[in-house]
């Protein structure tokens, strides 16, 4: 049984008690309800009750519009949090970055682009100039990097990936 059909069946059945007999129930043979009744967790119940208002922010984007909305939220969150990894919303920042990355991997194929083109794209997305990338160096170093005359080193790649919340792999 595939995941989608399993999810549909769970949705239709709601809470189903664990079979207390010696033989597993029909549903238990497919891996349902092995350890406890479905939806018995207070955390799950709380999540379900709060899901609708936050679903647009915490779901994988499926269109360019949804993607742009999430990037905007991420940018606002970055402005609020800054570099404070202990901020209460740091987990949300990480989650949004991951969801955006899922969309980008599927729709914005930067894997084939040279590092300097990836950097140029990220700068345009964030409205940055060559003067605003201390992660690389001074303006002259940034311009040489953007023209492909100079390669990024390991430290620069790590700093840029942290700043733009992308995998370091996009620069290789």
Q: What is the pLDDT of residues 85-125, one digit of tens each?
A: 899 998 998 898 889 888 887 887 655 688 898 899 899 88
82 in a domain, yes or no? yes
Span 21-56, pLDDT tens digits: 555 555 555 555 555 555 568 888 888 889 888 888
Span 117-161, pLDDT tens digits: 889 989 988 899 999 999 999 999 999 999 999 999 988 998 998
Full-prediction pTM beyond 0.85? Answer: no
54 in a domain, yes or no? no
Contact 39, 58 (CB under 8 A): no
Q: Structural domain tally of the chain? A: 3
Beta-carbon contacts of 54 under 8 Å, excluding residues fewer than 6 positions away, are none
DSSP assignment, residue 19? P
9 in a domain, yes or no? yes
52 in a domain, yes or no? no
The alpha helices in 55-153, defined as continuous H runs, are 64-81, 90-107, 115-125, 139-146
97 in a domain, yes or no? yes
Q: Are residues 66 and 94 in the same domain?
A: yes
**Domain hosting residue 63, numbered range:** 59-107
Q: Are residues 92 and 123 in the same domain?
A: no
168 in a domain, yes or no? no
172 in a domain, yes or no? no
Q: Distance between CA atoms of 153 and 149, rounded to whole angstroms?
A: 13
């Amino acid at each position: 049984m595939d995941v989608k059909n399993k999810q549909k069946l769970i949705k239709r059945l709601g809470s189903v008690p664990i079979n207390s007999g010696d033989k597993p129930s029909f549903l238990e043979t497919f891996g349902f309800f092995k350890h406890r009744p479905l939806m018995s967790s207070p955390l799950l119940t709380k999540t379900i009750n709060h899901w609708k208002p936050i679903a647009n922010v915490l779901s994988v984007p499926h269109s360019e519009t949804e993607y742009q909305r999430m990037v905007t939220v991420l940018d606002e969150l970055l402005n609020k949090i800054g570099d404070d990894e202990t901020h209460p919303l740091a987990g949300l920042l990480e989650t949004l970055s991951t969801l955006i990355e899922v969309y980008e991997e599927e729709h914005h194929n930067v894997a084939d682009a040279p590092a300097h083109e990836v950097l140029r794209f990220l700068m345009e997305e964030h409205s940055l100039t060559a003067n605003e990338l201390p992660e690389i160096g001074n303006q002259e170093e940034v311009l040489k990097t953007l023209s492909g005359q100079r390669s990024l080193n390991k430290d620069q790649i790590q700093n840029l990936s942290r700043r733009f919340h992308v995998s370091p792999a996009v620069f290789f």
